[in-house]
Amino acid sequence: MITNLLRGAAAFCLALPPLTLPSLTAAAAAAVVVPVPEVLPLEDAVGKLPVAEEDRTGYTRTSFRHWNTGLDAADGCNTRNEVLLTEAVQEPAVAAGCKLTGGRWVSYYDNVKVDEAGKLDIDHMVPLAEAWDSGASTWTSTRREAYANDQGAAASLVAVTARTNRSKADQDPATWMPPLPDAHCRYIGEWTATKLRWDLAVDQTEAEALKVYAEACETTIVHYNPAP
């Protein structure tokens, strides 16, 4: 559809008198500007995180509606299944109602290969309770739903073994890290990127832990776009 629109715009431009072309070109250029992601060394990214006390007053998991109809409401798949389809290293078969069979995934928290979608959890990189503690308590319900179903950044939602996700629960990196040591730098980078993307704070203990990991992960680069 985008290709057809661009072709139509080009044809329209050719039909206009020459004097009108510059203003149309400027307007078209402005319309296709794509946000440039922030790219920072991990240590600098951690330094951008605001530090504040956490507060869980009033939190309930139902404050974050999930899983919704996902990026494509017409595909019959909710956010969970869309993430599973995106992260599969071997694509599963998709039956009516977006029932997934077969396929293969690799849980990067523990480097476990999984051949059944039902054995995977979709982990919120920054857990819902942690997000609430760190600033989401002031959001609208619409923004919390957007957070809980965020597929605008690959780091926000990740398919992992149920065992590791439930071990993590609502903990931050000061008290929980993936069991696979080789995953630590990636995990800290993605945690930091998610907090920056959603303008979430860190508490003092969390900030200190992130700084320690950032020193050890000196080659890790953080990529993020602020959430709409």
CA 83 to chain centre: 10
- Nearest CA among 53, 48, 201 for reference residue 135: 201
pLDDT beyond 90 at 17: no
pTM for the full predicted model:
0.84
Q: What is the mean pLDDT of residues 53-58?
A: 97
What's the pLDDT at 37?
87
Closest CA to 82 of 164, 187, 154, 34: 154
Residue 129: the pLDDT is 98
- Residue-wise pLDDT for 83-139, tens only, equals 999 999 999 999 999 999 999 999 999 999 999 999 999 999 999 999 999 999 999
Sign for the pseudo-dihedral over CA of 33, 144, 91, 111: positive
- pLDDT above 70 for 21: no
What pLDDT score does 32 carry? 53
Mean pLDDT of 46-64: 97
Q: What is the mean pLDDT of the chain?
A: 89
- For residue 114, give the nearest of 172, 159, 83, 47 by alpha carbon: 159
Q: Any idea how long the chain is?
A: 228
Selected residue with higher pLDDT from 22 and 112: 112
Give CA separation, 4 vs 7, 26, 30, 71, 115, in Å. 5, 20, 19, 22, 40
